[in-house]
Structure 1
């Protein structure tokens, strides 16, 4: 009976490996097609479109040479803009959202539940509905066509506040009381004691916020005006026009745009699953 069960377990394991390998290939197909397109001349793109067929004989690196040449000057300006905005947004979002979520979880004050309900309500409202009042607010602040216009509405994200609040509910309050007895301030308790315990949640939210900021298209489209201020998704979209399509920069640039997200995930991956699961089960 045990031997039969072992055979069944091995069969199930093999089946799951094959199944998830197929799923992984399906998920990776757009990326594979993108890399092949980046290594193909524009004539092949017009003839075959995006495809996973390997035409090794026609592969070259002219598309990437175009990026690193004079033709890619604007591309690197967009790349730098996205890096600056994403890096600042990750840092500021983690800083402020973690403090808000921590306060909602571990402090008792008047209006605490009402504030948390507001966070949940905003979380349920699509961002597209909020864009018009946010745009008018940025205009009144005279921040249009600046980094601050892109970052300001997204610094304290409702999803980040909710996530940090759920994670903070599992932190031991005894540490707070002991630190107060030792004369530690409330900010000292957070930064010196609680924040190190929240590292998995910081890592998980850094990946999610970084991915969201890096791929953000619609909001920068509204608040950015000059070509030099465009973010990478917005800049790449301008390469496709009725008057001509710059496929060389478009596909090669799209491949290089994946690199920061891969680096971010590899840097925080060991904390990612722990942060998501811990933040999801605390209630």
Structure 2
């Protein structure tokens, strides 16, 4: 296959053969969603099969067609495996079929020019036709909201356990400890069923809601607050502060180390969360970064270049979070572990 046009023709045939089966499944799913009454009405009007296809099937398959065309174009830009196999390891004459992914492989693996290959990968990350930065923004938004609400709700619950005496206090705290010992995978399916009944599927609320009152965070805050003197709360009440005022003006500033420690841990959990968003999110524009990176490995091609560079960039928010709160992290973890 030394001829340029012959090489391109063979590469095109192999690529089409590889992707035809998957595309057929997409169109089959689209056809099954079309109401059969439309075809029956067309038959009554004496429309033949070709007319039914042109007038009914083609217009109603437009969303499926756009989707297949989009991912096919993207797969063509990230093509690597076909040319790698046809030309014995990416060594095609006159660089026939050499895509940007193949170029990254040649520079980084064969020539060991890792810096140059990484630079090309960065170009693909910032200029490529992909949704990486949408996934990145979704994950960042969800992480910020989840961390803020989790710290707020969990600190309220922990403050109630530590500062007040009420009937059933020990019983409810034992329930928190029991929840702490149950893996999330055990309650994942019942939780999925409940979220579905509430009509919250394919929404960010379904991702955030189950983690608002986090058992481990409640336990940590409760242990931290047990070491605070009760006289501080009594002094606030004598000065006329409301219960919320006491919490926000007196307790919350003292809990800054604990907040910092839990912000890092809960931020890592929210940022790296994969299984639960995968179950409840259906729309591709709502994908988080963990789900989006996983879609880069698909039947249309393995886009390892974007996957590797994107994975490296995904570390940056957690790194920044730790840098911001590292001053209080060790202090908060130690205090919450030994008090009480």
TM-score, normalised on structure 2?
0.67
Alpha-carbon separation, structure 1, partners of 2:162 and 2:312: 41
Q: 1:60 to 1:259 in 2, by over 3 A?
A: closer
Q: Which of the numbers 140, 145, 148 marks the counterpart of 1:83? A: 140
**Any conservation in 2 of the 1:42–1:247 contact (CA below 8 Å)?**
no
Alignment correspondent of 1:71: 129
Question: Where in structure 1 are there 5+ consecutive unaligned residues?
Answer: 1-37
Alignment correspondent of 2:212: 155
Alpha-carbon separation, structure 1, partners of 2:180 and 2:158: 14
Matched, 1:204 2:236: no
User: Is the partner of 2:129 in helix, strand or coil?
Assistant: helix
Alpha-carbon separation, structure 1, partners of 2:118 and 2:170: 60
Alpha-carbon separation, structure 2, partners of 1:150 and 1:249: 26
Alignment correspondent of 1:21: none
**Any conservation in 2 of the 1:203–1:271 contact (CA below 8 Å)?**
yes
Alpha-carbon separation, structure 1, partners of 2:106 and 2:218: 49
Which structure's CA Rg is the greater one?
2
Offset of 1:70 from its aligned partner?
3.7
Alpha-carbon separation, structure 1, partners of 2:115 and 2:153: 53
User: Is the partner of 1:88 in helix, strand or coil?
Assistant: helix
User: Equivalences for 1:129-148 in 2 at 5 Å?
Assistant: 129-148=186-205
User: Equivalences for 1:18-37 in 2 at 5 Å?
Assistant: none
Q: 1:129 to 1:106 in 2, by over 3 A?
A: same
Query: Moved runs in structure 1, 4+ residues, more than 6 A?
Result: none
Q: 1:57 to 1:249 in 2, by over 3 A?
A: closer
User: Is the partner of 2:199 in helix, strand or coil?
Assistant: coil
Alignment correspondent of 2:96: none
Q: 1:43 to 1:115 in 2, by over 3 A?
A: farther
Alpha-carbon separation, structure 1, partners of 2:189 and 2:149: 23
Alignment correspondent of 1:275: 332
Alignment correspondent of 2:277: 220
Higher relative contact order (CA 8 A, sep 6+): 1
Matched, 1:41 2:104: yes
Alpha-carbon separation, structure 2, partners of 1:57 and 1:120: 50
Question: Where in structure 2 are there 5+ consecutive unaligned residues?
Answer: 1-100
Q: Which of the numbers 173, 178, 187 marks the counterpart of 2:235? A: 178
Q: Which of the numbers 135, 141, 155 marks the counterpart of 1:98? A: 155
Alpha-carbon separation, structure 1, partners of 2:312 and 2:198: 36
**Cα shift readout 1:198-218 (whole Å, capped 9, x = no counterpart):** 000000000000000000111
Aligned length: 239
**Any conservation in 1 of the 2:107–2:114 contact (CA below 8 Å)?**
no
Alpha-carbon separation, structure 2, partners of 1:60 and 1:179: 58
Matched, 1:190 2:247: yes
User: Equivalences for 1:236-247 in 2 at 5 Å?
Assistant: 236-247=293-304
CA RMSD of aligned residues (A): 1.9
**Any conservation in 2 of the 1:145–1:226 contact (CA below 8 Å)?**
yes
User: Is the partner of 1:143 in helix, strand or coil?
Assistant: coil
Alpha-carbon separation, structure 2, partners of 1:148 and 1:56: 42
TM-score, normalised on structure 1?
0.80
**Cα shift readout 1:112-140 (whole Å, capped 9, x = no counterpart):** 11110000000000000010111111111
